[in-house]
Every structure is written in C-alpha cells, then in structure tokens.
Structure 1
Amino acid sequence: MAGTLPDWLDWWASTDYDVARTVLQRGFGALYALAFWGALRQFRPLLGEHGLQPVPAFVARTRWRDGPSLFRWHYSDRLLVAAAWCGVLLGASIVVGLPQAGPWWVPALVFLALWWLYLSLVNVGQTFYAFGWETLLCEAGLLVAFLGSGAVPVPLVMIFAVRWLLFRLELGAGLIKWRGDTAWRDLTALSYHQETQPLPGPFSWHAHHLPRWWHRFEVAGTHVSQLIVPWLLFLPQPFPSVAGVVFVLTQGWLVVTGNFAWLNWATIVLALGVVDDGTWAWLGGLLGLSDGAAPAPSAAVAAAPVPLAFVLVVGVLALLLLVLSVRPALNLASRHQRMNASFEPFRLVNAYGAFGSVTRQRDEITVEGTLADRPGPDDWVEYGFRAKPGRLDRRPPQVAPYHLRLDWLMWFLPLGHPGRWFTVFLRRLLEADAPTLRLLRHDPFDGRRPTAVRAVLHRYRYTTPEERRRTGDWWVRESLHLAVEPVRLDGGRLRGTP
C-alpha cells in the first residue's frame, strides 16, 4: 500500500539527512558486527555451558519478563555461535549497503534481527554484559532500523528520536558527574582519571602528565559539553549540527585517552547523525572536498510515493517511544538519578551515565600460579591479562572499540564488587581450561595445570617522566596483601594450600 503524503504531512519526510542516515546505518552496522564478533570469542568461556556464569543456570532461576531472550527457550554453545555469526554477517551487510538498496522494510528487518539477537545476549549476559554501551547498542539499533532505505526520504521523527537518545546520553553523563563526586565539581577529577580508569590506553600516561591547569580546563569543558551543549539538540538547525560537531570532538579525545569499548564510537556515530546535509556540504567546502553547496535532494526519492505502511509503522513506534520516555526523563530530573538503567525489559528507552565517581588510587588484583607442591615466595608467577595493567614495562594497549569483558570485570574487584565468577575463574585456571586461558594474553605454564593459584592486591601508579626515562617502565606498584589465599584442587574442590 503506497501513496504520496498529504500536504499536512509534508514535515514527516526530510531530504536534509541523507548523509546522516548513511552514517547511522553503516556505523551501527559496523558496531553490531564488532559486538557479535566479540561474543564469538568471549561468550562461551564467560557465559556458556562451561562458563564462569553459565546461562542455563541463570535462565533456570529467572523469568522471561526479567529479560526476554532467544536463549530462554533453549541455550547451547552451538546455538550461541550460530546467533553470533548471524549478527556478524547481518552487520557486515549493512556496512556494505546491501539492505539499504531495497525497500524500506529490508533494512528494518535486518536491524530488528540484530536488535533481537543482541538483546538476547544482553538479557542473559549477567555481570559480563552489565555495561551502558550494551543497552545503548540495543536502543540505537531499534531507532536506526526505521530510518528507511535509499528508496524513501528520511522520516524526520526518527531524527528527533536520535537527538533525544543523544541528549539523554550526554546530559545523563554530565548530571551523574555533577551530582556524584566533588572531584567533578572542584575540577580535579581528571587529575586522577587517566591513571585510575578501567583500561588505560597507549596515550593515557601522556594525558595524565599534562599540566594541572589543562586537567581543570578538561573538566570545565566536560561540563559545558555535557550539561549545556545537549540543549542545542532541541533547537532548529544549525544548532543541532553544532552540538554534533562538539560531541565528535570531545568523544574523539576520549577515544585517544582511554579504552571504553564502543561507547565513544557509538556516541560519535549518533553525533554525526544529527548533522544535516547542508552542514556536511559546508564542512566539505571548508576542507576543500566539495564546493560547499548543499547537495540537491534526489529527484527520484523526492518524487517517489512514500509507502503508507512505512508512515504508520514509524508513527506507532514514535508514540511508543514517547510514552516510554517519561521515566527516563524523570530520572534525569531526579536527585537520585540512576546511571545506565533500563525501565522495561526490551531496553527501548534507557538512562545513561558514566563515571559518577572517580577513584583516587589504582588497586589491581593480579592472579598468580605455581607448579611447586610447597611453594615458596619465589615460586609464584603471574598470569598476563590482555589489557589490564600487569607487567610494569608494558605500555597500555589500544583495544577499543573491541570490548575485553574479563579485563573490565577485574577492575571492579578491588572496588568492592566481588562475584562468584572469580572463584570459578580460579578453578578454571587450576584445571588449565583452554577456552578460559584463551581469554588471557599469557599463560605462564603453557597449558599445564598449576598446583595452586592465588590473588594479590597491588597498588599501581604511573611512573613519573623521570622514572620512565630511567627505567623504561610505565607503572610502579607495591604489594598490599593477599586478596585470595592460595587454593588448589583437591578431589575436584577448591581447598586452601597447607
């Protein structure tokens, strides 16, 4: 069923956001492909049948309404692999533009499949999927699903929905900082953050050693970009485009100075998605890539009849999102603001935020093992994780937008967030479980079973520039105490060493 829109619905379709639609669709297609690729590499040892938090056990003690998921009907590692490969291939198809070449409902169905498959992972992922960027990927995927294809104009209401998501993402992060920690209010937060963030990047050491006045300027700039600039999204163009450019610049700095999975990249894609075609043309002219004139809308698309079904589906979705936005909006205004919260199980409209508090010191759990029956102080050797600090002379690596879930969870342990998963992790090391060992960068025993393992709490700090020149190290650390006394497998059970 198709027909041209009546005059009173002229506002519904826009020819000013063709570039934005392309960026949003292909950008989130790429992020979905990356997220599912990460599931292929990490989900089974973390959450599979023999994982640290097995999905079958979780599903058995929870209900469907707690978190709808494909895997509540049945979970097997084989089904997980099939679902993840589907996600990779569907995301890749969006990146190369295959679904967008068809009718509007083709990219819609592809993104809905991506949304449902990833929601299925998140809703059974427990601690290992309890991050704000998981929910962000779900919500953004649903919005991008209804931007249409190249055969129809962009529905303006979905661009407004993207702005509303970006507004909650940025303002939520700004408010949680302002309300949560005096270090953000007295402009000292970034004097600590580069050193104590979960997974520092290769330039975090350098950023930490920038002058104190620069760190205060960074915090002030953060408050401006997250508390003031988001309001520009509700004004006519070019103000939303200006806001989008500001967000791209600030998120780009975070990309350079840390590893926050795909959070910054998803925000950048959303920010580019609020920039209209005229601004893109102006930027192209400024960079010498075009003549600076706004591109003329495609005559074929502008004249093509808009399917009434598309209008109705988008309208119903917009009304649903409007109703579901009430609680997230109230959350922004609340003194007891919740960070990275969902208010319904399908994660359609959510609350966001990041780093409501900043740790002042960096404590790390290091895991050690031994082959000795009666180990002495020199018999313990350290397991190497892929990104979290370990060896003092190892420069922090760049891993984002890839997400190393085990390394992130290790950061939370010294902060008072213990989990039974860590006990299971120690057991898997004692068993020399190959899938678990593949989550690590270095197994000091080359696949052999250690006789015992233990966990040690260390305090880390960056070297000073002088210490770095003298030793070549990036870190200095001191041992505080044993976090977990030595344990061994005894008859299949964990026991303390004699």
Structure 2
Amino acid sequence: MTNERHLRVSHPPSEPLLIWDGECDFCRLWIERWREITARKVDYATYQEAAHQFPDISVEQFKRAMVLIEPDGETFFAAEAIYRSLRYRSSRRWLAWSYDHLPGFAAISEIAYKVIARHRGLGSTFTRLLWGKNVRPPTYFWARRWFLRTLGLTYLVAFVSLWVQVDGLVGSNGVSPLNQFLPAVYERFGSIAYSLLPTLCWVDSSNGFLHFLCGGGVVLSLLLILGIAPALSLVVLFVFYLSLTIAGQTFLSFQWDILLLETGFVSIFLAPWRLWPGELMLWPSPPTPRTPSAHSPSSPLGEGERIEVRGSPPDGTDKSKPSPSPLPFEGRGEETLPSSCSIPATASPVSRLGLFLLKFLLFKLMLMSGVVKLTSGDDCWWNLTALDYHYWSQPLPTVFAWWADKSPEWFKHFS
C-alpha cells in the first residue's frame, strides 16, 4: 500500500471520482471499460481538467498514478484506486476485498501497477492486440439477436422437413402409427407413461393434430426469426418440438434432435421477454454523427463545466465560469457515436444465466461427444483411424465428404 492512502481532500466531490492522465492512451482505453462496468456510479476526469480543484494533491501525484477521491474526502492511489472504484459493481468487489485482506495481494498489485505505469506504450500495444480498439465489456446484444434468429431458422427447417414426412412415419397409416404406440405404452406403464413420454399427443394423436404441431412450429419459428415475442415463442416451440420428438419415436431420436431441444430450452433464459421487437433490422444501424451535448454520457463533465465539490471552490473562482479546457476525450463539433450506441434504447440486457447455460451446453456437447467415442470400445477412436471410413459411412454424407475422404492420412489423424 502507498503512504498516500490516508490522504483526505478538503473539498471532495459529491460522487466518487477517478482521476487519470488524459495524455495516456493506455489509461484512456481502460477508462472506457471501467466506465461501463461501474455504470455511472463513479465519475471520471483527467487530472489536466480536475487537478486545480484538488490542491491537496500535487500534480506529480496525479502524473504518477490514478487517484480515486471518495465523497467523504478519502483518497486512494494507483492499484488501490482502481480496485475501490470497481467495487461499485457487485461482481468486482472481490478485488478491493482481496487488496485489504489477502496477504500479498496489495503488494503484488502495486508492483504490477508500477511496472505497467513505466511501460504504458507497451501496455497499450498489448491491450490493442488482445482486446482490439474497444475494450469495453461486450453487451452480447447483437450476438443474441443473430443467435435467436438463427435458432428460429433451425426450428423452421426442422418443422418443415418433419411436416412433409410425418404422415408416412407416425401417421395412422405410417410406418409406426402413433395412435397405436401411445395406447400400448399406457397399457404397459399406466399413468406413469405421461411423465415417461411428455407429449401433447396424449390429448390427440390424430394426423390432424400432428399437422397442427408442425404448422404451429413453422409459424412460431417465423415469429422468432422476426423477433416477435421471442421468449414466449421459444417456450411453445420447445413444447411442440418435444411433443413431436416423442411422437416420432426412433425417427427423431438422433443427437441433433436432442441438441435442438436442449438449445431451445436454454435459449428461453437468453431471450428478451417482450412482445414486439424494438426494430426489425438484423444488422446494427450505422453510427450517427451528432454534436456532443453538455452532459454527454461519455463524460461526467460537459464542455465548459466544472466538477461539483462540496463547499466553495478552493481557488475562489466562480463555479459557473467555464473551465479552461474540456476533457481530452470530449470532442468538439461533430462526434461519431460508438457502435454500442446504435443499440435501441428499449433493448433488454442479455441474461448472464442464459449466457452461462449456452456456454455450459456447448462444453457438455464437446466433452460428451469425446467421452462417448472413447468409451465405445471401438479401437479406431484410440488409434485415430476412425476418419478413414467415417466420411463415406456417415448417415448423411454431403458433397464435401468425398473430398474430405481424399485428404492425407496425417490430416485425418490430426482431425
């Protein structure tokens, strides 16, 4: 910890204020990220703008490290300042707690801060290489929009392809008639059959009802593609497709049918609960040029506006007098909004639970796909020869299977 930790300023701001070096490109990148994380609970300003309002802190201290000034006047520097500013976001409170309670954490953090502070240019280069030009936390808004529409398209293909086959597969005169299958299951298992085979077809197993499920699935898939009532559409789509999967018996017991059901179910937690889409476009609108207002969301201060502090300004100047210079990242004239600003104001935030469930589903799919192969008892998966004949023996070989089969042996083993 630094010796400056217990410094208190005589004229603190009304909100927590993190002051940074406006000439530091590395600082500018991360301030953008932290601003999103703290969600307007912390104000940000450059020391070039704010230093003269806090004479208790020397310019050299501002140049050397970031400074956090709390509303009670308590001041923190360097790594501790960053951690304490991020604690205003519940998911980041562990950083400040670790700094105060975890042995060695504070010392390591301050050493790392000093190293980065002395090599800001290198830090900026690595930041751009790893995160790109924009290091702000991802919103996943457009990813969610595209994912749900793609899922709707997948559902559409599944329902349409089944619709044209359902009579021949499980219709009353099909290969495995549903109206004979369900009564046989009930006769053997009794009322427990309803939970063993959860399907709406217990109510009606006629050909007409099967067509209703397929047709309803097509309509709901189109609604999902258009973004109309996405969460509600996903709930009904899951129920309809589960009913048809059970009704389809062995014809719909493949891995991709189960995967579609799993994906459709967890996507319910990802989809926004709204009726109408904020907009029907599938791609973000282009950035809109505008002139920044006096209270631009990208800056805690408007142009020509001073930081509000308790009491009179230390220099005795009029608070209404414009400050000599705007914040470094506050433009003059026309400014192009970042791409995230093209997100509709009515957009609901992406569910963290939904994201976690989708990532976990992908992890489970990849893990279990490997486990099933390695535990199958077939030596071809262990000696890496399975692909020698997989491309021409798979259930639905594509036009590319022939080319893949002709690839070198080392590539097949590597794959």
TM-score norm. by structure 2 comes to: 0.47
Larger Rg: 2
Q: If each structure's strand is expressed as a fraction of its own residues, which one has the higher value? A: 1
TM-score norm. by structure 1 comes to: 0.39
